[in-house]
Structure formats: structure tokens, C-alpha cells
Structure 1
Amino acid sequence: MRYLTYFCLTLSLIACDQSEAPKAKPVTPKQTVITTQTLPPLVSTIEKSKTIKPKCKGDDCPNIEIEIDRFNDDKELSALIERELVNMTASLSDDKKVYANLTELTHDFWQKSESQWNIFLHSKILHQKNNIIVLELGNETYLGGAHEIGYTKYLNIDRKTHQLIPLTQLFIAGKEAAFWAKIQAQHQLWIKDNELNDEHSIATWPFIHTDNVALTDKGLTVKYQNYDLAPYAFGQLEFSVPYEQLNGIINPQFL
């Protein structure tokens, strides 16, 4: 009987200990806090130049033409833009050489260029707000063949860090898919209007995502390169979603 009483008492203590044990607190996922800072808009000067291949004579000499934004108050930003711009022509090099500046690109181009080859590089400011500046870079290159190839690249830049803002950072966590659904809906209307909604065209030119997305004054703009979604003749397709349709999708700091 004494042992039975001791056994029951032990069970009671164990049950009491379990009932009074503190419950684990739920873990709240940490979110990256992105701070904004109001900075005065930058003013750029446009540097324009056109250079001809040395020692070349005639109308068909290779040339490089540029129209690039320069920021006297932010040399680091100017260097970043130049670096991004000249590396839009990476197809010049079989080993995917990375150019540090326009001088390196020019030297490489003169070594490889043939008659009529040319490069036109240009930039323009699309949007400025708080610590964000957005530029559109353009590259039209002719390296022989039937036509030149155009390429457009958007840069969303944090002026405080001089870093490109990743696409995923533009959206609230888990909401990027909702943005692409809106872009795809516009694309569906476009292929219908242009009679590219037959089975062959859809299989040849399927809808794809791109990281070429820009913050603008009115919303988010997506630009596709030649051949991304359609034949060359249709050019670079562009779709936009206004900010009023992006509530709950885009990070509020970008509104």
C-alpha cells in the first residue's frame, strides 16, 4: 500500500509539472527593414561623342557613339552607369570579357571591328524619388548581318549604397507572382491583337519573366528584348502596371 501511494504521488507530480511547463512562444519571421532617405534630385549633364576607328578613311569606318548621363555631384554613380552601359556589348568578346569603362570597350572594338560596324550607347533618367534613381540604358549595335540589334536595360539604383535594387526587393514577400499575372494578362491581349495567338506562335514565343523592370513616375514598366516574346519585326515589347493596381503587391516605400 505504501508503494502504491508513492507511485500515485509521483504520477501526480509529473502531471502537475507538465501542466505548468511554459509554452513555447511562436517564432515571428524576421523581415528586412528598408529605410528611405529624402535626397535632392540629381542633375546630370549629357556627354556626347562619336569616335571613328583610327587610321580608317571613308564612309564605312567603324565608329562608337555615346550619349551618357554624367553626375558631377556623384562620380561613383557616373562610373556605375558607364560600367553597366559598356557591358551591354559583351557579345563582342568570346570569353565574355567584362569592361571596366568606355576606354576598354573602345580598345577591344577597334581590334575586332570590320567595315560598317558601329555601336551607339545612350542613357536617360526615367525616375527619381527619395534615395532611388532609375535609368534606362540603350545599346544599338551593328556587327554585320541583316540589321542592327537593340538592347535596353533598366537600372533601379539606391543612391545611398550605389547598388542595383534586386527585382525581388520591389515586392512584398510572396506577392511577385501577382505582378506577373497582370503582365501576362496584358501579353495575352497583345498576342490576340497582333494575331500571334495560334498554337505555333504560342509554342515558339511563350510568355516569360524578365528582370528588366523599372520603377517609373506612374508605375512599374517591363521591357522585353528583341526575340524575347515575338519576331524581330515587333521590336522590344513593353508593358506597364500603374501604382494604383499595385497596392498590396509592391513594397510601400516605392509607391
Structure 2
Amino acid sequence: MSATAGSLVSKTEYLDYQLPEKIQNICAERDNCPEIEVKYLKSNHSWIDTTINARINSLVVNSKPTESAPIKTPSTQADVNAAINDFAASQFQDMPEEVSWAYSLTVTPVYLGHVNNFELFEINSYVFTGGAHGMPYSEYLTFDLSTEKQVTLDDMLIKGKKPRFEALAHDAYKTWVKTVADDVSSYEKNWPFMLSNNVTLTDTGINIRYQHYSIGPYAYGMPVLSIPYSELNKVIKPYFIPK
């Protein structure tokens, strides 16, 4: 994706957070502190910061993210701190003293660049509370500078064209399956196709991101399906197709 030519300047700032003294004391005894890293966006577009940072707070407070789940009630800083305190404390409530690994929680916004008038971001998070592996999560966010609003897949689609978009996404899914399995129909019986609304614009088309276990086992990561603009003519509004 293109880099923005001076219109958007972004950086991240760490959440100002300190483990409660009680948890710090337990950490000192066991030499095994939870790893907490939450970053917020700080750009020269405060309206984008507000939306992204509210979503980051929501992911921290809920810590078991649900793809595209709307924010019903914005989380306060007190909510965020309380959620992290509970997350950190739960390590010592749930785990035996001899355990050598620590709980981990990270949430970070990433600037992806821009396409036309659209600024593109991704929020990445990772939660580890034991077991074979942690759980990564990734969410795209698209912003229209001309309207100063967040853009969703439904905003991009021409009215009545979602079934056609879903069919194109299904074709892209079959193409992806061929890279990981010998037989598409057998694979789809175990990991059926589903449409995700987690999309972003690129220079060449629309990318659709899937979370772990959505359309494949954990080992296959978070697949990205790509639909080129050449297939999206009369499916998405011309406004969203780069000139």
C-alpha cells in the first residue's frame, strides 16, 4: 500500500499502567510477572485516534475479542486498568507457583498506509494464558478523510451486491485452500467458507482477513483472501476503486 505523502503522521504511545503493589510483590517472590503491553495511536487526525483507541480499550477490557463486535459502551480508563489488573492477578490465581511461563497481553495499532482518500490501519492483539499457544487477533480499520468517518464493507458495496461479493470471496477461499490442501471439497467439509467483514483496501484490490480457526486450523495462521479490483467492478462503489 502507498505511504501517505504528508497528510497523516502517526505514532504509538504506551498505556501509562503499573501493576498493583500486591501483584508486584507476588512477581518478586516468583520472579514471573505477567507481560502487559498496550499501545495507543497518536496521529494528527484526532477523530481517527478516538475511534482506534476506543477499539483498543474494548479489546483490552473484553480480552477475548469477537471479530467485528461493535462497541456498545465505550470503556473508561478505569475499566481498562481494572481489566488489566484482573488479567494479571488471574495468572497467580490459576497457575501453580512452579510454573515458569507468564501470562501475556499485547494490543498495538499499526498504520498500513493509504489508498486514495482512505487511511488504513490494523489493530493486532495477542493473549496468552497457558496451553499450547497464545491467541493472536487482527482487525482492519478504514477511514475516509473526506467524510471523517470509518468505512465498513457494507459502505463499500453497491446495494444488493453483497451476495456477489461473497461469491468472489468464496472463489478466493478456494484458491487459498489449494495452497494448503490437496482436495478443496474435502477441506471445506471440515473448515467451511464463511464471509468475514474484516476487510481493507489495497493498491490492487480488497483483502479479507480471517482469525485463527475461522477457516483453518491454528497452524494455518490468519489467512488473507484477496479480490482484485478487476473483479469488483459493479460490486463495490466506484469511489472505492483507485483511479
Does the alignment reach a TM-score above 0.5?
Answer: yes
**After superposition, what is the alpha-carbon deviation per residue over 1:126-183, rounded to whole angstroms, capped at 9, x for unaligned?**
2434553221110011122221101111112234555432321201222232222222
Indicate whether 1:43 and 2:43 are aligned: no
TM-score normalised over the length of structure 1: 0.72
AA partner of residue 32 (structure 2)? D
Match in the other structure for 1:60 = 32
Indicate whether 1:70 and 2:70 are aligned: no
1:88 aligned to which of 52, 59, 62: 59
Indicate whether 1:79 and 2:65 are aligned: no
Match in the other structure for 2:225 = 239
Question: CA 1:202 to 1:60, structure 2 compared with 1: closer, same or farther past 3 Å?
Answer: same
Question: CA 1:223 to 1:98, structure 2 compared with 1: closer, same or farther past 3 Å?
Answer: same
Measured in 2, the distance between the counterparts of 1:112 and 1:66 equals 13
Match in the other structure for 1:109 = 84
AA partner of residue 106 (structure 1)? N
2:170 aligned to which of 184, 197, 209: 184
Measured in 2, the distance between the counterparts of 1:148 and 1:98 equals 27
Match in the other structure for 2:131 = 145
Kept in 1: contact 2:205–2:228 (CA 8 A): yes
Measured in 1, the distance between the counterparts of 2:145 and 2:79 equals 26
Measured in 2, the distance between the counterparts of 1:126 and 1:149 equals 22
Please list every run of 5 or more consecutive structure 2 residues that lacks an aligned counterpart in the other structure. 65-70, 93-101
Measured in 1, the distance between the counterparts of 2:185 and 2:10 equals 48
Aligned-partner SS, 1:136: strand
Task: Say how many residue pairs are matched.
Answer: 214
Which has the greater radius of gyration?
1
Indicate whether 1:253 and 2:239 are aligned: yes
Higher relative contact order (CA 8 A, sep 6+): 2
Q: After TM superposition, what 4+ stretches of structure 1 lie above 6 angstroms from structure 2?
A: none
Cα RMSD of the aligned pairs, angstroms, is 2.9
AA partner of residue 61 (structure 1)? C
Kept in 1: contact 2:161–2:235 (CA 8 A): yes
**After superposition, what is the alpha-carbon deviation per residue over 1:8-61, rounded to whole angstroms, capped at 9, x for unaligned?**
xxxxxxxxxxxxxxxxxxxxxxxxxxxxxxx97211123246966332325521
1:208 aligned to which of 185, 194, 210: 194
AA partner of residue 58 (structure 2)? N
After superposing the two structures, state which structure 1 stretch, 211-220 or 157-166, moved more.
157-166
Measured in 2, the distance between the counterparts of 1:59 and 1:158 equals 47
Question: CA 1:77 to 1:189, structure 2 compared with 1: closer, same or farther past 3 Å?
Answer: closer
Match in the other structure for 1:230 = 216
Deviation at 1:91, TM superposition (A): 4.1
Measured in 2, the distance between the counterparts of 1:178 and 1:144 equals 41
**After superposition, what is the alpha-carbon deviation per residue over 1:190-212, rounded to whole angstroms, capped at 9, x for unaligned?**
22332263766422210001110
Measured in 1, the distance between the counterparts of 2:225 and 2:6 equals 29
After superposing the two structures, state which structure 1 stretch, 83-92 or 110-119, moved more.
83-92
Measured in 2, the distance between the counterparts of 1:112 and 1:187 equals 36
